[in-house]
Amino acid sequence: MATEFGKSLRATITSIPGLIVIDLPVHGDSRGWFKENWQRQKMTADGVNLPDFGPVQNNISFNDAVGTTRGIHAEPWDKYVSVATGRIFGAWVDLREGDTFGAVYTAELDPSKAIFVPRGVGNSYQTLEPDTAYTYLVNDHWSPDATYTFLNLADETAAIAWPIALESVEISEKDKSHPRLADVVPMPPKKILVTGANGQLGRALRAEFGDHPWIEYTTRDDLDVTSPDLPHARRWRDYGTIINAAAYTKVDLAETPEGRTAAWAANVTAVAALARVATENGITLVHVSSDYVFDGTKSDAYTPADPVSPLGVYGQTKAAGDAIVASVPRHYILRTSWVIGEGNNFVRTMAALAERGIDPKVVDDQVGRLTFTSDIAAAIRTLLDTAAPVGVYNITGAGDPATWYDIARDVFRLTGHDAERVTGVTTDEYFASATHPVAPRPRNSVLAVEAPLDPAPWRVSLEGYLRSAG
């Protein structure tokens, strides 16, 4: 069968998620033929939409005889397969954990057709012409420590209709000994690493994502991201996502010499180290930022596109971290405000004051919305699960903005106390007698939240939070 010339570059989605067949333009005449086997700009553009998977190695398997059969091998990396000479019958079986485990797709490949095989999908082929060269790009280097999954070529459940009977073809003894589908250990998902796992957001992420072998929750004691050994601290190609929930958040202390050093170390230096690891290994980096990257002078809600203009050291370090993360090819930056979760926070402080009979003075000239850590964790999951476009997103509770004074009154009321016990004061009045450095606060911390994020109204979340705390 002759190679078909003159095709248009086109992608066809298959029944196995992520397995994509590509028709390749082949230009030929009496002298032979030429094709662009992999052309990143064209193949990742709209209309084809192959993943920009970052190949690092090119392999070629040459096969002398018709009927040479290899597989079924699933590796922990993505693979772009094509034929240089000859023709094959290919079979691909989904060996990943999930609903499509065991799904089969078959096709013939010649030099005018290629296929993108995602991590964990078993790859196998049978040559249909002599002197067939089977080529593939992969986005990781082979390693004996990597996790591999195999399936027997003759598995009855997959029931692959091989053109040439397996009894009469060349197969390695190793391939003959692979397990049947019922005995296959599925390929686990790529790992998710969560930093700052003991913080307010870290605990919410644990509740959202759960405990699984492929999710790693770390603290500074487990993983020092500022260590020069960070690039070798893990087999990073096994990770698909890093969620950076660690940060320096002591806003006022950041205005001191010691605090300034600590804030830059945690919010910038550590973030830069994670960004390098993510970039070099094709990892999605999720980073949580703050309303403090803005000066609060805007008259309406801040959007993700608004330019940053931080007032104090903390805001400056968060803005610097955002700029670093934005350079990572696969990134999500979530800006949030007035965070409430497990641990010490404004809501718990007001509830405690109400219970102890103390009548507080609370700032009434800063406007924003509460953001509960459960909403941040859910937003992160939404962005990852929907493969949302990379970039900056805002996440706060929904509903009308309020001042800290308004929120304090709500806390008093919801805990059965008289809201009139709360007195409103300006920011300047509140800090007039402070004996320590005070960071400048944005007066407007209202962030615009857009699809695909859909948080609950903050007042509804506040009621639930106080009920559970009580």
* Residues in Cβ contact with 420 at an 8 Å cutoff, skipping those fewer than 6 apart: none
User: Using CA of residue 41, residue 43, residue 48, residue 50, what is the dihedral sign?
Assistant: negative
Please report the pLDDT score of residue 433 as a whole number: 87
Please report the pLDDT score of residue 2 as a whole number: 65
Please report the pLDDT score of residue 38 as a whole number: 94
DSSP string, 172-185: -HHHHTPPPGGG--
Please report the pLDDT score of residue 283 as a whole number: 95
User: Using CA of residue 157, residue 162, residue 168, residue 174, what is the dihedral sign?
Assistant: negative
Mean pLDDT in runs of 10 for the chain (470 residues)? Answer: 80 96 90 91 92 92 94 95 95 95 96 96 96 94 86 96 94 95 94 95 96 93 89 91 96 96 96 96 96 97 97 97 97 97 93 96 96 97 95 97 97 96 95 91 96 94 88
**Residue 41 CB: number of other CB atoms within 10 A?**
7
Residue of 125, 134, 136, 405 marked catalytic: 136
Q: Global pTM?
A: 0.88
Q: Catalytic annotation on 405?
A: no
Residue 206's H or E segment, with its range, is helix 200-209
Please report the pLDDT score of residue 206 as a whole number: 96
Span 81-119, pLDDT tens digits: 999 999 999 999 999 999 999 999 999 999 999 999 999
Using DSSP, state whether 335 is helix, strand or coil: strand
Domain 191-469 sits in which CATH superfamily?
A: NAD(P)-binding Rossmann-like Domain (3.40.50.720)
Please report the pLDDT score of residue 470 as a whole number: 64
Instruction: Round to whole Å and give the CA distance between 368 and 383.
Output: 23
Fold held by 10-183: Jelly Rolls (2.60.120)
Q: Boundaries of CATH 2.60.120.10 in the chain?
A: 10-183
Do 354 and 316 form a contact (C-beta atoms < 8 A)? no
Q: What Rg, from alpha-carbon coordinates, does the chain have? A: 28
Span 430-456, pLDDT tens digits: 999 888 999 999 999 999 999 999 999
Q: Boundaries of CATH 3.40.50.720 in the chain?
A: 191-469
Q: Catalytic annotation on 73?
A: yes
Please report the pLDDT score of residue 158 as a whole number: 96
**For residue 282, is it left (φ>0), alpha (ψ between -120 and 50) or beta?**
left
